[in-house]
Chains A and B, each alone.
Chain A
Amino acid sequence: MRAELVEALLALAVLMAWLGVAGFARLAWPLDRLHCVTFVNVTCGALILIAAVVSGGSADDVIKVVVLLGALLVGGAAVAHATARAILRRAPR
């Protein structure tokens, strides 16, 4: 049961990654593409974290994944806003 749940979570994470990259390839304006980056960051990160917890990996690995996801969420938001600000200064629409 646990293995099937991990497989389903990983399949969902890969599906979200494909969806995000498809949106990235489809959208033209860089600010629109930033949303796709954040979408991949949040959805895949959260799903992989849940899969790591469910799979029963070692506590060290799970803690490192939690720290990594926290850095991705907090840092990703800061980076996205800084990037958008730089893009708007450099090449306004």
Chain B
Amino acid sequence: MSAWLIAFLFCLPLFAVAAYRALSGRCAQRLVATELAVCLGTLMLVLASFAWPHDGLIDLALALGLLTVAGTLAFTHFLERWL
């Protein structure tokens, strides 16, 4: 078992905590928890891409990291103005 895979497995409980917090609580707390879950998910995808050498995983992490910025900015704009 490689160090990348072990690091990936150690991050799984953290992702579960962030996902649980994102599913419960008030709106602002859920938004922050979602950001933490996405951050951990992106880093876990990078770890997984080195643990299992496959072209798709690192591209998936890159797409998630880039799309999250635009998506979260749009959501905060809606949250601030209309929701």
- Closest chain-A Cβ to B56's Cβ sits at a distance in Å of 12
Beta-carbon contact of A21 and B46 below 8 Å: no
The CA of A61 and the CA of B33, in the complex, are separated in Å by: 28
Tell me the interface secondary structure of chain B in the complex: helix
Which chain A residues border B28 with CB–CB below 8 Å?
30, 86-87, 90-91
Measured as residues with beta carbon below 8 angstroms from the partner, the interface class of chain A is: 35 or more
The CA of A61 and the CA of B50, in the complex, are separated in Å by: 9
Residues of B within 8 A of A (CB): 3-4, 6-7, 10-11, 14, 17-18, 21, 26-29, 31-33, 35-36, 39-40, 42-43, 46-47, 49-50, 58-59, 61-62, 65-66, 68-69, 72-73, 76-77, 79-80
The CA of A34 and the CA of B33, in the complex, are separated in Å by: 9
Segment 39-93 of A: residues with Cβ below 8 Å from B: 40-41, 44-45, 48, 52, 55, 57, 61, 64-65, 67-68, 71-72, 75-76, 78-80, 82-83, 85-87, 89-91
Known A10-B4, A90-B79: A30·B31 in contact at CB below 8 Å: yes
- Closest chain-B Cβ to A14's Cβ sits at a distance in Å of 5
Q: Could you pull out 25 A-B pairs where Cβ atoms are within 8 angstroms?
A: A3-B3, A6-B3, A10-B3, A10-B4, A14-B10, A14-B11, A24-B17, A24-B33, A24-B36, A30-B31, A33-B32, A37-B39, A40-B40, A48-B43, A48-B46, A52-B50, A64-B61, A64-B62, A68-B42, A68-B62, A72-B42, A75-B68, A83-B32, A83-B72, A86-B79
